[in-house]
Amino acid sequence: MDFSRDFIAFACARSALRFGEFKTKAGRLSPYFFNAGSFDDGAALAQLSDFYARAILASGIVVDTLFGPAYKGIPLVAGTAMALAQKGRNLPFCFNRKEAKDHGEGGTLIGAPLKGRVLIVDDVISAGTSVRESVELIRAAGAEPAGVLIALDRMERGTGELSAVQEVERNYGVPVVSVASLDDLIAYLGDHPDLQRNLSAVADYRARYGVKDGAP
């Protein structure tokens, strides 16, 4: 998809995607690093949210409510809801706080009620802990998870043969939609001479640790 390549260019320009040698949580030395925290001003968040909205619309997933898990999911879900509204799709959104509030409105959920099919909006999936907690909140409210939306799918194996994304899809029976994937990044590097010096290292990493595709 064209917006996937555009997102890679945007992430590189904002230094959200950097190249070099970075140690992952699994102890692997990765030739690239993605940090959604680098989208740290109003213009960047607006553009990121527009990419998220485009990915939702392109996915065809039926969604009634958007949910952003604390803490990174909070600005993402609010921004995505605004971007969707600007495209003619006005959806309610909700997010949670880490600690329950015992005064005022109380509870851990803020925003619209969790109803119908709920799309979880987050930055990445690593261990899948955030997704598990979100699914539990959604089901406890009597709603159903519709899927998960993330910025980048690293397409990288975890402890077994599946990636973290594939494990989420298998464990919860919902699709994971990403704005871009590692394959999109590799294609982008190959088309840009100023970045081609990073291509072989990223491709080698993909060959060593990657999964065959984005589905279980």
What CATH number did the domain enclosing 25 receive? 3.40.50.2020
Angle, in degrees to the nearest 10, between helices 73-86 and 42-59 = 70
User: What range defines the domain where residue 196 resides?
Assistant: 2-209
Least confident of 57-71, 102-116, 119-133, 143-157: 102-116
pLDDT score for 215: 44
Confidence of residue 216 (pLDDT cuts 50, 70, 90): very low
At residue 160, the pLDDT reads 85
9: in domain: yes
Distances (CA, A) of 138 to 114, 122, 133, 146, 200: 6, 15, 9, 10, 42
Question: Which letter does DSSP use for residue 210 in this model?
Answer: B
- Name, in order, each residue with C-beta under 8 angstroms of 25's C-beta and a sequence gap of 6 or more: 126, 127
Domain assignment present for 23: yes
Q: Is the pLDDT of residue 106 over 70?
A: no
Region 121-132 average pLDDT: 87
Known catalytic residues are 101, 103
Q: Give the global pTM.
A: 0.92
Domains held by the chain: number: 1
Q: At 13, is the secondary structure helix, strand, or coil?
A: helix
**Is 71 domain-assigned?**
yes
Residue 25 lies inside a defined structural domain of this protein = yes
Least confident interval from 56-60, 106-110, 197-201: 106-110
53 φ, ψ (degrees, to nearest 5): -60, -40
Confirm whether 189 is domain-assigned.
Answer: yes
Residue 152 domain-assigned (yes or no): yes
Residue 93 CA to residue 95 CA, distance in Å, equals 7
Beta carbons within 10 angstroms of residue 51's beta carbon: 21
Pairing of strands 144-153, 117-121: parallel
